[in-house]
Structure 1
Amino acid sequence: MAEMTDTATQPIDKAHLRGWFELPFFELLHRAHDIHRRHFPGHRIQRSALLSIKTGGCSEDCGYCAQSARHHAHSREPLLDTQTIVRHAAQAKAAGATRFCMGAAWRAPKEKDLERVAEAVSAVKSLGLETCVTLGMLSAPQAARLKEAGLDYYNHNVDTSPEYYGKVITTHTLSDRLRTLEAVREAGIKVCCGGILGMGETREDRISLLALLAGLEPQPESVPINQLIPIPGTPLADAPPIDPFELVRTIAVARLALPRSYVRLSAGRGQMSDELQALCFYAGANSLFYGEKLLTADNPDVAHDDELLARLDLQPE
């Protein structure tokens, strides 16, 4: 049985992770909650808002994504102008978000588009919000330009295990993603990097995914845990959903393996009951996406989230 240690200073391997997954459910939650409280005292939740600033038309074939031009589910909208982005950011801040995330569906941004995004980053930063973007793959000079513009976080998920990756995506490799993360780190930008559950992967794949995330040096500051939202017209439209208690176990093991990271309940929260979300928060999730839309998918409305957090005595950061 896995021992109780402060995992912030312990090397994490698959054997550790497997042992945690195999703990009795409530023992695992107890351990995860204890580690969470050591590193995040108090009962606080970080709230981020996410806006699609350029939708659809992506050349990649990610099997979960409605924005791929290769699937039958995609819609297309051009890159928003800075004024529109800032208006959405101001609304998100007024609703209580502290971080504003901007997503654009590209394999990699062209230089003229990157300049427009950099302008938007600077404008959003001036509102007093943390800034985050996800734009696909970046070169080192592009990452440096975003840092210069004031970018705080770059999101680039590894999605799934190295072993399962090729069954979900074939137009780029996991190594391509890791090179972007390296460029982001070298530019001095914080990393937001997580994965997607419920794409047909096994528990062993989830163990391998968390081992990859925990082994990044340094570990990601923010780790979004997404549940697949099956979208008609995508290759994973008929993927079976992950068992809710397996989701909670994965959150708990993520907390143990990544003790200082913000673990975010991301896509798929609209399909979760309040009770399931409460279990995830107890297991170590301490961040959520806030607002009615996540790129192209629905999300719980702000009023419902405010009510849920109040019922759970969770305070916003």
Structure 2
Amino acid sequence: MHIFKLRSLSFLSLDQRFLLFLQLFFTMITLENDYIQIEIKEVGAELCKVYSKQTGLDYLWKGDPQFWKRHSPVLFPIVGKLLGNSYTINNSKYELTQHGFARDLDFEVLNKTNNSILLETQYSEETLLKYPYKFSLQIGYELKESRIDVSYNVINKDDKSINFSIGAHPAFNCPISQGTSFNDYFIEFEKEEHPILHSLNPQTGFRKKDTERVKLDKTIPLSYNLFDNDALMFEGLESKKISLKSNKHEHGVHFYIPNWRYMAFWTQKGNAPFICFEPWMGIADEENTDQVFETKTGIMNLDVNQSYENQYSMEFF
């Protein structure tokens, strides 16, 4: 039945057929209020669409696989890459690919209203082979006028303390509005910043040991050459609101990060029409790491029967 539909609609573009495939094979959950409508995929609890009823604009990246197939993946139990895609706990070796496995796990709905939802995934025999801790991960979305509050809750379900990192990776259309280009946009901070800049070695793809403290003006004009060496990764930003704005129109995104250690910005090479705002509690491996998980930079520890909560918000205008 599905194969027949896809063949019979062969006149559609590749992008249209890909989106149809997602609709056929993945469960989408819709939340809406008078201001915005969003769609969430149960796989990965991933936000897949943000449409503003006020502006008539789609703000979230559509996931075109020509550039990057994801929209807003959850990063857990690691952020970034591991050297050799592996790490050790008590001298035992485990393997994880970049950003961990939560973005590909099935989540189930714990509760839902018209404008809010809470989803959960838990450890399994399969996850224990890659990450030897018992956990529950809950992701919540709540609409408040033109704002989305996104909450993370990691619960230790083991009989020992667990170690983890967590982060977000939402991608926004850039350009947002027709008739504009990537270079017509800028990142705006609340104040001038003096964060620590972490850099990746373009040859290895891993984090350099040496860091530098940099001075940032209140705005960073966007250009693709900013990302020649991959993501911009800052530690210790003081601004709690960071915005994506344009020189050509009044629409954009306010991004609120009350309690995150790192903030990264990224786009795919090849003039991809999106920009990612990524709050992290964790970071990629150093190129000379010893691969010991407990001492990995950015790793957090959670005691038995304890939970860790964090959140960020996005406001669309």
Same fold (TM over 0.5): no
Higher relative contact order (CA 8 A, sep 6+): 1
More helix by share: 1
